[in-house]
Structure 1
Amino acid sequence: MGYKRMTKEDIYEILRRWHAGQNVSRIVEVEKCDRKTIFKYIKKFNEAGFGRDTKLPDKERIWDIFEQKILPSVERHRPASKQLEPLEDIIRDMVQDKKEPLKPKSVYSVLKNNHNVNASYETYKIFVRNKGLTQKPARQMIRIELPAGLETQIDYGKVGLLEYLRTGKNKVVWAFCGVLAHSRLPFIQFVYTQDQKSFVESFIDMFEYYGGVTEIQSIDNLKSGVITPDLYDPKLNKSLQEMIEYYGTFIDPCRVGKATDKGKIERMIPSARELFRVLKKIHPTADIHTLNEHALRWCTEEYGQREHGTTRMPPMEVFEETERETLKKLPEERFEAPIWKPAHVHRGDQFFSFDKLRYSLPEAYKGLDVWVRYTERNKMLRVFLDRRLIREYVVTGKAVNYVPEDFPEGKREMMDGGFPRYLRRKAQVFGEASCKLIESILEPHAYLNCRRAQGILAIMKEYRGKPFYEQVCRRALQRGVKLPRTFKAMLKVEEKQLVLDMGINISELGRQMVRDATYYTN
């Protein structure tokens, strides 16, 4: 078993599978881990006081148990086979050359001479076999039969065009198809979109159609389900992850480009496409909901009653006799599919956007990326940072939504529509003349003159307490001063005059000698 770095999500998934009753062999097969690794995590889990007979703790509790001692923290050294990876295409071209093919053993000699490869022949041989670079005879297909209630295979397929009632124009229609791997009973639902909400809703409709849930859901690496396709560490969409945990099932993404991983559902896509075209001809005016009703009847009454070419039994008969009772029971309440979206909190105004509406967060979150979860039933929007809930909003349709405490007092007043009142209150601190001057500036149009009033308030703060301050404010009010620079110039003139008046010291004798200018003109 090759080395695999274990993450918190990997550990939680292993323990969730084990707690659900899956044996270690099954977990090894799905999670691609060594048996000793799985036993190690189960042992630590038991030592912490948890077992299959106790309730499964939440993710945070499990991560706390394992974070300090268990998670791997070192990288393995690069194996010798790494130097062969850049040469993979060269090896394939030489082995599969149509005119002059070489045996893989001969290719090894060429690589040593021409590319300075120093990996051992055994390493080279394993690399070639793992990459499938050797010439092989024609593949023989082996049919794999699975026990009842184990797996449902799911896939999408493009089926055609249908009028979209909201626009009156034709729109591409996709078929969400599911097949029970044991009984081969299908589920078909036509949809206009493949977004995360539609994907999860189709899953839930399929569960309700079958009346239960299988242990595993094998899906393609569709973006609505799998964010990052990876054989060993696929990242599931958050909405899909919530849904499978709610219904107690598991998602096993298939390998990219490997249709044989879900061969049973691949054969259903052409049938769904043909069914869509037939139903359109029979019901030319039907909408997509009506077509879906006919499609489900076809699955049960026609395809379900027809003898299957592989099992030689009708799918509906096998389902009723052996598979229905093995399915997991559905919860009493239907799961509401949430919408998860990433959002960026802007540095300038500390708002983020969701569905064309804007929401505020405290200043500490400016410039950060958050996750937003929205549920339609209760109109609740929740904001998360590193899986931690930081804010909740009830969506009312307002274009701008904010909490006043997120902003300083000045910005808060402006957002409430009371910024002019805020400026008047600030001016009252500086005196009656100051307040009247600010009111005269705001009077023609409060919001257009807010910047001028802010500038004059800053000047008032600088000159308040000066002996000439009140006199200048009254004079500015009489002259109708509106500009901060004019007001400041008046204050500076008075300040210089004050310096001149206070800078000359005259004795009593000197004062007797002072004459008025008219004394010299007469």
Structure 2
Amino acid sequence: MNVLKPHLQATIWTLLRKGSSQREIARVTGIDRKTIRAYVQRFAEAEANSPGVATDLGEPTVPPRPPAAAAGSVSACEPHRTFIEAQLRLKRNATAIYQDLVDQYAFAGAYNSVKRFVARLKAREPEQFDRLEFAPGEEMQVDYGEGALTRVPGSQRYRRPRLFVATLRYSRRSFRRVVWKSSQRVWAELHEQAWRYFGGSTHYVVLDNLKEGVLKPDLYEPQLNQVYAETLKHYGVVADPARVRDPNRKGSVESAIGHTQATALKGRRFESLEEQNAFLEHWESKWAASRIHGSARRQVQAMFEEERAHLQPLPMLGMQYFDEGARTVCDDACVRVEHSSYAARPAPIGSKVLVRIYARRIEIRDLQTQELLRTHARAERPGTVVIPQEERVFNPSRETRRILAQARAIGPDASRLCELLFAAEGRVGQRKLWGIVSLASRYPRRLIDSACARALNDGVYSYGHVKAITEKLVAQALQALDVAPADANLTQQHELIRPAEEYAALFARAAAAPDPLHPRRSPEHDPQ
């Protein structure tokens, strides 16, 4: 209890004798109500121990009047409790309730009385949660947060990277990494790094419904992205996405992120991601792992040593990551991947298939069932055609006929070369045919036809060869124009050159003819 000066104690005692409430005394004197309450109790105890004896204030103590707002007193709003509770369920505030009480029930109390009564009714016990307990190696929780300010590579600017935290639920041992950008593949790679860091994987992983992990949130059948799902399958882990807007399901990792931001990274700056990751690993091993956990009352590292033996063993090979996307089977029975063609049979022409692109191979799967249809070694050079000879399609399609018609418009040699190319390669070679006929939009057709003739003589049936010859012929033609003599004498007499008199007669006759736009006027009447 605060010890007040004698004159303040006398003031409290005097006001109590006059029947003032504790609230009024606090308002007049500025003394806290808790201190006033303590002195009321002190005065009462002094009276009980020595009734009728003078106090140190110079006057006998008298039992003070119980304050108006003391415990056990009945509020003026108590008779209207049912009405007030009903209004609170309608989300109405104390002002509106007070006005209705005055209008409808002739309420004579003060607004502050209603305000205090409403505040007591609104007071609720804090929401309670059951703390879930898990066996060692059973669950890992993951989430993203914000890291410390880090210099952006190649600039003087700082910004916050994304902070990935994975926490083992039993021991609370954590793995932390910062990255600039996240994606489905980065999300899966961070999980793999965490399991390698811990020395094993857990049976379950709890995560948010972020797009890197969950494509379609659902309480019963959440849809994971395929890269993440394959990574979990490779390590024998089952994903357990938390309910939407329910972060308490993964409270351990939420607490770990807050602890990292407030203790390890607060007020720090780093020059690179590598520097921040090295600091986080040092901080985790030296400080976070050696701490005594608040609820478990045990050291985190000691609990992790117990849990380590219960983690699932890691596979010998790491996850083979891939990119995937839908592709259309072209009329040559192939799909285009990175400027190369791969056979897609038994998928029919015109259908959609799922293509997975690994580091060294290409997988073609059914778009609906994910069934594997074909596997090819990944081509190292763009423009490669990976299709067996027996699967090539040689019957001409409408596109083939359209290309051959354009080749015939260029010239006979171009038409012959395109027909031979189609006969040798089938529909797969239509891309070369398109390249040859598209040269007509940039170069003269007679030069393209001459280039095709040379290619036939050379025995090289290739779009690149035809293009190179065409460009060479164009360069030679331009060079011939540049070296032509500028002062060459013009021919004045030739059988194709008409005499100047004929041109003069033609001009005179045209001048005498009537104007076709104004038939009533002749040229000689036009104003000069």
TM value normalised by structure 1: 0.50
TM value normalised by structure 2: 0.49
